[in-house]
Amino acid sequence: MEHDGDEDDDLEGQEDEAEEREGPRRFFGCYLLTSRNEAYRRHTYIGFTVNPSRRIRQHNGELVQGAKRTRTKRPWEMVMVVYGFPSKTAALRFEWGWTYPQKSRRIKEALSHRDLTKLGSPHMLKARLRLMFELLHVTPWNRFPLVIHWLTQLLDGCPPPPRHMKVNIGSLAQIEPLYKSNTNAQDSDSESLGSDSDGSGDEASSPDSSDGEAERRPTTATTTSTTQREALCCLCRTVMKEDELKLRCLKRSCKQKGHMLCWAQRFLRDQPDVLLPTTGTCPSCQTALSWPEMLNG
């Protein structure tokens, strides 16, 4: 049975609520960084994390694990954290929409009445901030009890969020009690859809690496032929770089691998009215796949 966009959003909300009921509320956040390196002063980065304090230390090299892709543009400053998502899936969907709004017809239509071109390149800091506030008014995120926690004074001139959402200004120490228990393996950080951009848009066509999600990367093959076969995206048939995020078919006997963005584009092609990827089929075995299940690996 097919559903229209609103019904799909209702179902997404029900899934998130069900996931939340499975255990105590956990911290899932999306964050925005800006580079303080004069050579990269226009660069921004969007990511997902369960522990912002740990994540910014990784980006700035204070901790050795993760954040390899952004090391050349240090130091980074964390501008803000958006949290209060009912599930990891909901937060990852927000991160994807914030990073690649042009890839979803639904988001483009929702923002069509907004003249965001006056803000300059969509990957500049000002435009990133404005887009984030616009997304807060888009279903399903406008239903969530989100908190926008600013770490700087850059909120001047930003439009207000929906009335039920909170806006705070302060340090990470003020919200650290919310996530300090997120230390087990299940709570590993990832920027599965993080965007690292200089404002030119050249890097916006592919998602960043999943620094904290090593299990999603292809395992090392034991033969040259296997390595070559696994190195090709099953959708675009181009070589997949080691630092690119990859997803695979969930069918045990198939396990086709491809770029995350290629999978997302295939799913959205089959569901043009959906806000973010939800379901699709494997191009090889034609198995029906769930986008959230693929993200969760």
Is residue 64 domain-shared with residue 166, that is, in the same domain? yes
The number of distinct structural domains making up the chain is 2
- pLDDT for position 279: 83
Provide the b/e sequence for 152-168 (b: ≥16 CB within 10 Å): eebeeebeebeeebeee
Inside any domain, residue 90: yes
Inside any domain, residue 190: no
Check residues 121 and 27 and name the one with the higher pLDDT: 27
- pLDDT for position 43: 87
- pLDDT for position 14: 38
Most confident of 33-37, 66-70, 150-154, 193-197: 33-37
- Report how far apart, in Å, the C-alpha atoms of 204 and of each of 12, 66, 196, 284 are: 26, 21, 8, 27
Model-wide pTM > 0.85 = no
- pLDDT for position 154: 75
Per mean pLDDT, which range of 32-41, 222-231, 248-257 is the poorest? 222-231
Inside any domain, residue 273: yes
Inside any domain, residue 148: yes
Q: Are the C-beta atoms of 145 and 79 separated by less than 8 Å?
A: no
Query: CA-to-CA distance for 23 and 216, rounded, in angstroms?
Result: 25
- pLDDT for position 230: 54
| Confidence class for position 229, pLDDT limits 50, 70, 90 | very low
Inside any domain, residue 197: no
| Confidence class for position 120, pLDDT limits 50, 70, 90 | low
Inside any domain, residue 241: no
Inside any domain, residue 213: no
pLDDT tens sequence across 287-297: 998 887 887 76
| Mean model confidence pLDDT for the chain | 75
- pLDDT for position 213: 34
Check residues 281 and 24 and name the one with the higher pLDDT: 281
Amino acid identity, position 288: A
147-150 and 166-169: which strand pairing? parallel
Query: CA-to-CA distance for 48 and 190, rounded, in angstroms?
Result: 6
Q: Are the C-beta atoms of 213 and 188 separated by less than 8 Å?
A: yes
Last residue of a domain, one of 132, 149, 183: 183
- pLDDT for position 117: 64
Check residues 13 and 173 and name the one with the higher pLDDT: 173
Inside any domain, residue 53: yes
- pLDDT for position 249: 92
Check residues 205 and 106 and name the one with the higher pLDDT: 106
Give yes or no for residue 215 having a pLDDT over 60. no
Is residue 136 domain-shared with residue 43, that is, in the same domain? yes
User: With pLDDT > 90 as the criterion, what percentage of the chain qualifies?
Assistant: 32
- Report how far apart, in Å, the C-alpha atoms of 89 and of each of 111, 169, 205 are: 23, 26, 22
Question: Taking residues 239-260, what's their average pLDDT?
Answer: 87
- pLDDT for position 189: 65
Does 292 sit behind a cis peptide bond, omega within 30 degrees of 0 on the bond before it?
Answer: no
Is residue 160 domain-shared with residue 85, that is, in the same domain? yes
Nearest in space to 11 (alpha carbons), one of 295, 297, 291: 291
Task: Collapse the DSSP code of 238 into the 3-class scheme (helix H, G, I; strand E, B; otherwise coil) and give the result.
Answer: coil
Is residue 157 domain-shared with residue 66, that is, in the same domain? yes
Is residue 172 domain-shared with residue 252, that is, in the same domain? no
- pLDDT for position 33: 96
Residue 70 burial (CB count, 10 A): 25
Amino acid identity, position 47: G
Specify the residue for token string 């494997």. Answer: 282
Structural domain boundaries enclosing 126 = 29-183
Q: What is the dihedral of CA 181, 245, 191, 249, to 10 degrees?
A: -50
Query: CA-to-CA distance for 102 and 201, rounded, in angstroms?
Result: 12
Is residue 126 domain-shared with residue 261, that is, in the same domain? no
Q: Are the C-beta atoms of 92 and 193 separated by less than 8 Å?
A: yes
Query: CA-to-CA distance for 176 and 251, rounded, in angstroms?
Result: 39
Q: Are the C-beta atoms of 189 and 66 separated by less than 8 Å?
A: yes
